[in-house]
Structure 1
Amino acid sequence: SGVPVIGDDIKSQVGATIVHRILTRLFRDRGVKLERTYQLNFGGNTDFLNMLERERLESKKISKTNAVTSQLDYELNANDIHVGPSDYVPWLDDRKFCHIKMEGRTFGDVPLNLELKLEVWDSPNSAGVVIDAIRCCKLALDRGLKGALTAPSSYFMKSPPIQYTDDEAHRMVEEFIIETRKSEPSEQPKQGKE
């Protein structure tokens, strides 16, 4: 329809999935073979309420799982990874809790286990990312771009058309912004009256 599009399912500023992705990539980069992992999320806002409907939960689970496994260069058995929303707890309001457990093997086939608990206020945690995504769409509109914006989608969303590491996606977004600046006409200094 001639408009720029940025992905699906936002990555929060510092949320469960982005933390899980970074840790998964860290394991890979540091030579730890990730064998099993889970990410359990629960919260009290309407996002969690809506996911009580199984159809909505399934797409969110796929999005989160793909965001994490895309950081590995090998497949995890489906039984060895569980990533997804777990439950709705109304009195938590906009707070979201995440529990991540990762089990792997390091040098010498020695076990390595990581457990993490994260608590965030869910809406503000995504607000800045949404604003940046909108800014990139505006830049694209100004440049006459349409369709999927690969770099912003990969950096801001869990289900972009192409998955990149977060470092690569960040660099690509910076380049996207710089290219936009280069294509803008430079302002001429205004001439004063003589």
Structure 2
Amino acid sequence: MNNERESYFYVHGRQFGGAPITIDIRVEMTDGPNAGPILFDAIRGTKLALKREIGGALESISAYGFKKPPKPTTMYRAERWVEEFLLNKRRL
């Protein structure tokens, strides 16, 4: 797969008068730049953990930013965990 990503999206629906419509979208991109914002968030979360003197695996940050976190969860829950971690309502 290298540093390239190709994604396909299909949208099926109905338009005026109930006629069916299908939209096919193909997206090609270089994958590297997409990782930047997530890595910045992970670094900021790690820096905050160091400031709070928290050690070990950061479950919330790992679940949000990485493919194989120590405690897998849904993206929705991972976002909530990060928010709670940033507000100091969650330790890991």
TM-score by length of 1: 0.35
Q: Give aligned pairs, total.
A: 75
Instruction: Say which is worse superposed, 132-141 or 117-126, in terms of deviation.
Output: 117-126
Question: Is 1:149 aligned to 2:58, yes or no?
Answer: yes
Per the alignment, residue 129 of structure 1 pairs with: 38
1:179 correspondence with 2:49: no
SS in 2 for 1:179: coil
Q: Please list every run of 5 or more consecutive structure 1 residues that lacks an aligned counterpart in the other structure.
A: 1-41, 43-47, 49-93, 101-114, 181-194
Confirm or deny that 1:168 pairs with 2:77: yes
Root mean square deviation of aligned Cα: 2.2
Residue 116 of structure 1: CA displacement? 6.6
Partner Cα distance (2:77, 2:56) in 1: 21
Deviation per residue, 1:127-180 (Å, 9 max, x gap): 011001000000000000111000110010110011111000000000100118
Q: Give 5+ residue unaligned stretches, structure 2.
A: 10-23
Q: Whole-Å Cα distance in 1 between the matches of residues 25 and 7 of structure 2?
A: 8
More RCO (CA 8 Å, sep 6+): 1
Identity of aligned residues (%): 37
| TM-score, with length taken from structure 2 | 0.70
Structure having the higher Rg? 1
Q: CA deviation at 1:97?
A: 1.8
SS in 2 for 1:120: strand
